[in-house]
A and B are shown apart, each in its own frame.
Chain A
Amino acid sequence: NAGVMQNPRHLVRRRGQEARLRCSPMKGHSHVYWYRQLPEEGLKFMVYLQKENIIDESGMPKERFSAEFPKEGPSILRIQQVVRGDSAAYFCASSPGQDPYGYTFGSGTRLTVV
């Protein structure tokens, strides 16, 4: 039973380019969450999605960031026109349903903007 799969593991983008991060949840999990971890900081919630629906995007920056979880395929976190401050580790987690279950995290995508 594969865990939460994120790719790529490492992504380097120049300022102004687009970054696309992918997350495939664990089998049987229909809830996906994206978190960002800046250097020396804790995990910050970004967005919670179910299939074809954004449930809570209260942690998403208002501009340049978007997320989707289509009916088929992985969840995508898209960052347009990246800036150096976007450099961070982006973690995806999945769960089978409502809380109080703990998450299962993916290995993360480390984005570096040069």
Chain B
Amino acid sequence: QKEVEQNSGPLSVPEGAIASLNCTYSDRGSQSFFWYRQYSGKSPELIMSIYSNGDKEDGRFTAQLNKASQYVSLLIRDSQPSDSATYLCAVSPDTGNQFYFGTGTSLTVIP
């Protein structure tokens, strides 16, 4: 059974702070890792993808991957109220095209 675990939250941070979202996965053969943002009642939208160990930065977002620890995280710098949403971690195994999603972490940025 391939598991993707996330702390469901809710996580609250003040505006301008750094939000840190974490995800662990059970399948050591996983190759691709994604973070999606989902506003209430809306579809998930892709924020970041990361495939190799280390950090990947895109604007205010930084994804971090540690395959040895089976851990992937997302940092949001200078958090804005518009960042308030549920963040889904998704992991793709080494074969196939399906993704395994975590249950999501609810983030609230307080103005």
Contact = CB atoms under 8 A, between A and B. Distances in A.
Interface of A: 31, 33, 35, 40-45, 48, 55-56, 58-59, 91, 95, 98-100, 102-108
B26 to A, nearest CB: 14
A100 B92 contact: yes
B65 to A, nearest CB: 13
23 contacts: A31-B97, A33-B98, A35-B101, A41-B103, A42-B4, A42-B101, A44-B101, A48-B98, A55-B96, A55-B97, A56-B96, A58-B98, A91-B44, A95-B97, A99-B92, A99-B96, A99-B97, A100-B32, A100-B49, A102-B46, A106-B43, A107-B42, A108-B43
Contacts of B101: 35, 42-45
Contacts of B34: 102
A47 to B, nearest CB: 9
Contacts of B98: 33, 45, 48, 56, 58-59
Contacts of A95: 97
Interface in B94-110: 96-104
A42 B25 CA distance: 14
A43 B97 contact: no
A104 B4 CA distance: 20
A45 B100 contact: yes
* Range, interface on chain B: 20 to 34
A110 B96 CA distance: 27
A33 B102 CA distance: 17
A100 B31 contact: yes
B102 A42 contact: yes
Contact of A42 (B31, B42, B104): B104
B43 A105 contact: yes
B57 interface: no
A112 B88 CA distance: 24
Contacts of B31: 99-100
Contacts of B44: 43, 91, 105
